[in-house]
Chain A
Amino acid sequence: MAVLNQLVIGASMAAVLLLVALGLTFTFGQMGVINMAHGEFIMAGAYTTYLVQPVAGTLAVPAALVVAFVVAGLMGLLLERLAIRRFYGRPLDTLLLTFGVSLILQQLARDIFGAPNVQVTAPGWLTGGVDLAGVRLPYNRIFILLVAVGCVVAIGLYLTRTGHGSRMRAVMQNRQLAAVSGVATGRVDQTTFFLGSGLAGVAGVALTLIGPVGPNLGTYYIVDAFLIVVAGGLGQLRGAVLAALALGILNSYVEFWTDASLAKVVVFMVIVAFLQVRPQGLFVLRTRALS
C-alpha cells in the first residue's frame, strides 16, 4: 500500500518539478538563455501570492496565478530588455550575467520582505483531499497537477499551433534569417522571455501551497529545473514532461527505500547514465549541419 502511495507521490513531485522547469523550456530550451534568475522569478511569484492574499481572500491563489504570471513576466521582460538581448547565442555568458541578477534579486527580497519566511496559507477549499484506494491525495497537490497540465497544454498549443510559436523557434535557430523573413526579432525575444518568466511566476504561486516563501525559495529549485530540461531534451515539451515524471517517480521510490539525500544522488547518476543512451535528452533535435 505504502509502495503504491509512492506512485501518486512521485506523480505529484513530478508536477512540481515540471512546473518549475516549464518556463525554462522557453528561456533555456528555445532561447538558449541559462537564466539563473529563473529561481528568483519563481520566488517573485510566491511573494506575489503573499501580497495578493490579503486583497483577494479565498481566491488569492487563482488570482495570484494571473498576477504572478504578469509580475514575473514583466521582470523577465525587463531583464531581457536591459541585458539578455545582447547575449543571444552565448548561453554560457547569460549564465554568469543572470547569476548576478539572481544575487541582487535575493538580497532585494530580503530587504523588502525581511529575511524570514512570510506566511501564505492555503485557502479553505484547497485544504483536505480525496482518498483514493487508501491513498490520500491532497487537494493542493491536485491543484498543482492541474496547473501543470494546464500550462503544458497551453504551451504545446502555443508552440505548435500559433505562428508566433514557430517564429519564436525560428528566431532562435537563425536570428538573421528570421529578420530577413520579416520577423521583428526583438519583439519575439521579448514575448518569449515574458512567457518563460511568467511561467516561473505561476510555479511560484503553486509552491506557496507546499513550501516556504522566502528569499531563498528559488535556490532550492533551480538545479532540478535545469536537470529536467536537459534530461528531456532542450526545448522539448514532451521531453520535459516525461523527464519530470520519470525523475519524480524515481526520486519518490529511491527516497522511500533509502533517504532523501541518497535519492538526489541516485537521480543524478541515473541521468548521467541515461545520457549514455540518449545523449541529447529524451527527445532529440538533430540536424545534418555540423555544429
Chain B
Amino acid sequence: MSGDLTVRGLTVDFDGFRALSDLDFTVRAGELRFLIGPNGAGKTTLVDVITGRTKPAGGSVRFDDHELVGRREHRIVRLGVGRTFQTSVVFEQLTVLENLDLAASFRRRTAGLLRRRRGVAAGVAAALETTGLAALADRPAGVLSHGQRQWLEIGMLLTQRPRLLLLDEPVAGMSRVERDRTGELLREIAREHTVVVVEHDMEFLRRFASTVTVLHEGRLLCEGDVATVRADPKVQEVYLGRSGEEVAA
C-alpha cells in the first residue's frame, strides 16, 4: 500500500505515431504534481493510459503495487484512481445532485443501488458546497455553462474519494477568481490525496504548484520546482515561448 504512482518505460503508438515514448514518471503518495508541456506533448495520453482508456504498446503503470495496464476502466477507478476530462462530460439528463450522488455511490452494493436515494449523503452535500453548485442542485446538468460543468466534474471526483486524482486542465475556461478557488481546493485535497494536475495556466502553476513535470513529444523534458522549470531554456523554447515570463505576468 505505498500509494505511489510509478510509470515505467511507457510507450504509446497510434498507427505509427508515437505519442509517448519510453516514459518514466513517478509521483509519490501525497504529492501535488503539475504536468505541463506543449500541445500534443502526450499529457492527456498519459492520463488516458493510467486510467485504462488507452492501451500502451509497452511499459507499466503501477499504483499502490497494482499493475494498472490491462485493467478495465472501472476496475482502476475502484483501486482509487479518479480523473476529470479536458472537455468536461457530465450527465446532462441527471440533475447536479444526481450526478454527484451517482459518483459517490459506486462502492455501494447492488442492494444499495436498487434502493431509492433518500436525502443527501454528507460527502455529496460537501461537494455541492465546495463547488458552489448548491443553488443548482436540482437542475439538469445539461443546463450548466462550461465553467459550471468543470466544477461539477471536480465535485464528482471529490465525492469518489480517490487516493490518486488526475485532473486534465481543470481551470480552463474559468475566471480568475474561480481559478483561485480551484487552486485553494486543490491544495486542500492534496493534503490527503495524491494529485496530478495537467495545466497550461502558468499563473496558476506559479501560485499552486510545487513540483512540475514537463513533457515534450512524449518524453520527459525536465522536472523540478516551478522556478527551475521556468528557467529551463528547453522549456522556454518549446513551451513558454522565449519570453514566457511576460505571458504569465
Chain A residues at the B interface, C-beta cutoff of 8 Å: 288-290
Q: Can you identify 6 A-B contacts, CB atoms within 8 angstroms?
A: A288-B44, A288-B48, A289-B87, A290-B85, A290-B87, A290-B89
Number of A-B residue pairs, CB cutoff 8 Å, is 6
Please, which residues of chain A bring their CB within 8 A of the CB of B48? 288
A288 to B54, CA, bound (A): 9
- Find chain B residues with CB under 8 A from A289 CB: 87
Q: What CA separation (Å) do A289 and B53 show in the bound complex?
A: 11
CB-CB under 8 A from A290, the residues of chain B are 85, 87, 89
Q: Is the interface of A mostly helix, strand, loop or mixed?
A: loop
Contacts of A288 in B (CB 8 A): 44, 48
The complex places the Cα of A288 from the Cα of B87 at a distance, in Å, of 11
Chain B, Cβ-Cβ closest to A290: B89
| Bound CA span A289–B85, Å | 10
Residue-wise, chain B 41-79 has the 8 Å CB interface mask toward A (1 for contact) of 000100010000000000000000000000000000000
A81 to chain B, nearest CB (A): 29
| Chain B: CB-nearest residue to A289 | B87
Residues of A within 8 A of B85 (CB): 290
Q: How far is the CA of A58 from the CA of B225 in the complex (A)?
A: 84
- Contacts of B1-60 to chain A: CB distance below 8 A: 44, 48
Nearest-neighbour CB distance to chain A for B227, whole angstroms, equals 34
* Distance, CA A288 to CA B85, complexed state (A): 11
Closest to A291 in B: B89
How far does the Cβ of A173 sit from chain B's closest Cβ, in whole Å?
A: 15
Cβ contacts under 8 Å, B87 to chain A? 289-290
Tell me the bound Cα distance from A130 to B85 in angstroms: 61
Complex CA gap A168/B181 in Å reads: 44
| A290, B168: Cα distance in complex, Å | 14
Which residue in chain A gives the minimum CB-CB distance to B87?
Answer: A289
B198 to chain A, nearest CB (A): 15
A290 vs B87: C-alpha distance when bound (angstroms): 9
B208 to chain A, nearest CB (A): 27
Residue of A nearest to B85 (CB): A290
Residues from 83 to 138 in B contacting A, C-beta threshold 8 Å: 85, 87, 89
What 6 A-B pairs have minimum CB-CB distances, sorted nearest first? A290-B89, A290-B85, A289-B87, A290-B87, A288-B48, A288-B44
A288-B89 Cα distance, complex, nearest whole Å: 13
Closest residue of chain A to B88, judged by CB?
A290
Complex formed: what's the CA distance from A89 to B89 in Å?
18
CA distance A289 to B86 in the complex (A): 10
Q: How distant is the Cα of A288 from the Cα of B48 in the complex, in angstroms?
A: 10
User: For residue B86, which residue of chain A has the nearest CB?
Assistant: A288
| Assembly CA distance A289 to B65 (angstroms) | 30
Bound Cα distance from A276 to B48, whole angstroms: 23
Q: How far is the CA of A102 from the CA of B48 in the complex (A)?
A: 45
Residue of A nearest to B44 (CB): A288
